[in-house]
């Protein structure tokens, strides 16, 4: 059986700590506890859902970064400042110059 993605060693350790601290009852140590959401089993359900949401957000961020990187590959970059210093200017006009037909030499 595959280990779920959210189940990293540090998270697993956190769940074990929670269980040991709570004894399987209220994770906040209330005795008695007025809130069933604090019960270990219920609490970790929400915690795991949060982790899964974190992982999805993380995966999205990685994907977006990768996409930006890929999209920028074909684009020529100019320095923000000094775009029209002599060299940049030459490159700029050289690139944007129409290709002129050369006069045929006889």
Residue 38 near residue 28 (C-beta atoms within 8 A): yes
* Nearest of 81, 76, 73 to residue 92 by alpha carbon: 76
Residue from 7, 17, 21, 30 in contact with Zn ion (CB under 5 A)? 30
Q: Is 38 in the site for Zn ion (CB under 5 A)?
A: yes
Our CB check for Zn ion shows the closer of 43 and 51 to be: 43
Our CB check for Zn ion shows the closer of 12 and 42 to be: 42
Residue 40 near residue 82 (C-beta atoms within 8 A): no
Our CB check for Zn ion shows the closer of 28 and 84 to be: 28
Binding to Zn ion (CB under 5 A): which residues in 62-91? Answer: none
Exposed e or buried b per residue across 41-58, where buried means at least 16 C-beta atoms within 10 angstroms of its C-beta: eebbeebeeebeeeeeee
Stretch that binds Zn ion, among 7-15, 18-26, 49-57, 83-91 (CB under 5 A): 18-26
Q: How far is CA 73 from the centre of its chain?
A: 20
User: Which positions touch Zn ion (CB under 5 A)?
Assistant: 26, 28, 30, 33, 35, 38
């Amino acid at each position: 059986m595959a280990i779920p993605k959210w189940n990293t060693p540090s998270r697993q350790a956190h769940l074990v700590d929670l269980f040991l601290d709570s004894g399987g009852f209220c994770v906040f140590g209330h005795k008695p506890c007025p809130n069933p959401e604090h019960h270990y089993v219920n609490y970790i359900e929400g915690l795991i859902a949060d982790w899964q949401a974190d992982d999805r957000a993380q995966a999205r961020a990685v994907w977006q970064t990768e996409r930006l990187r890929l999209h920028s590959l074909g684009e020529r970059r100019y320095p923000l400042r000094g775009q029209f210093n002599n060299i940049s200017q030459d490159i700029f006009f050289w690139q944007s110059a129409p290709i002129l037909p050369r006069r045929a030499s006889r």
